[in-house]
Amino acid sequence: MVTDHQNGTYTATFRLLWEGRVTIRIQLVLPRQTIDVVERNRREDPFEMVTFQRRFTVGKKNVDTQCNVDPVIFKDSPVCNYSDPHAGVWWYCVKPVNASCNTSGSQSRLRYKKTKLRAGEEKLFNRDRIKAVRAAIERLRERSPQTLVVIKSANTNTGNMLFEGDWLAQRLDAMMREKV
């Protein structure tokens, strides 16, 4: 069970049913407030209104597929089931071609209709500000192509384990570098 303390911290509680060394991996993809917006949109509108993408790493290439809480919207496509019924989480992604569902990957981006967001909620998704920064960098590069642009967030952790706010820094870095 995960408890949101409404202050940016969470407590995860679970039973360990064996003795010995344990490795725990926890990944927070989005803050609770953002999930609340997604869930509200899911209740009020068809599932197609809010979808995510999962970026699979297949060899040296990235393959993006759609994800959602309802596998039915993917029609006849094969689906990977990442649900956790014990946690009450249902999550499905379209299976990448020529790769298994166990292929490494990460949640990539959110697609939503802005008209469905209430005042102030767009800040939860942060994309407009990042697009503005990217546009400014592109204008600078057009004026002076030799300019070295270093994109650095608050944390440059490149390992597999993310701590505290690392997930946001990693996500911002990925969004700044992704091809438009």
What pLDDT digit, counting tens, does each position of 111-134 carry?
A: 655 557 788 777 776 666 666 667
Question: Between 94 and 170, where is the model more confident?
Answer: 94
In a shared domain, residues 37 and 111: yes
Q: Is residue 5 part of a domain?
A: no
In a shared domain, residues 138 and 110: no
Cα 114 to Cα 49: distance, rounded to the nearest angstrom:
10
Contacts (Cβ under 8 Å, ≥6 apart) of 5 = 11
pLDDT for the residue numbered 176: 61
In a shared domain, residues 87 and 111: yes
Judge whether residue 110 has pLDDT over 80: no
Number of domains in the chain: 2
Q: Element (H or E) spanning 12, and its range?
A: strand 10-12
In a shared domain, residues 110 and 61: yes
Cα 95 to Cα 75: distance, rounded to the nearest angstrom:
12
Our CA dihedral for 120, 125, 128, 134, rounded to 10 degrees, sits at: 150
Q: What angle do CA 33, 171, 82 make, to 5 degrees?
A: 70
pLDDT for the residue numbered 154: 47
Under 8 Å between Cβ of 12 and 1 = yes
In a shared domain, residues 113 and 130: no
| Distance in Å from the first CA to the final CA of the chain | 38
Task: Point out the domain boundary residue: 117, 149, 171.
Answer: 117
pLDDT for the residue numbered 155: 47
pTM, full prediction? 0.41
Q: Is residue 82 part of a domain?
A: yes
In a shared domain, residues 113 and 161: no
Q: What is the mean pLDDT of the chain?
A: 72
In a shared domain, residues 101 and 164: no
In Å, how far are 30, 33, 39, 59, 95 from 124, measured between CA atoms?
9, 7, 14, 33, 28
Cα 26 to Cα 166: distance, rounded to the nearest angstrom:
12
Tokens linked to 5: 């303390």
In a shared domain, residues 73 and 144: no
Q: Is residue 8 part of a domain?
A: no
Domain that holds residue 94: 30-117
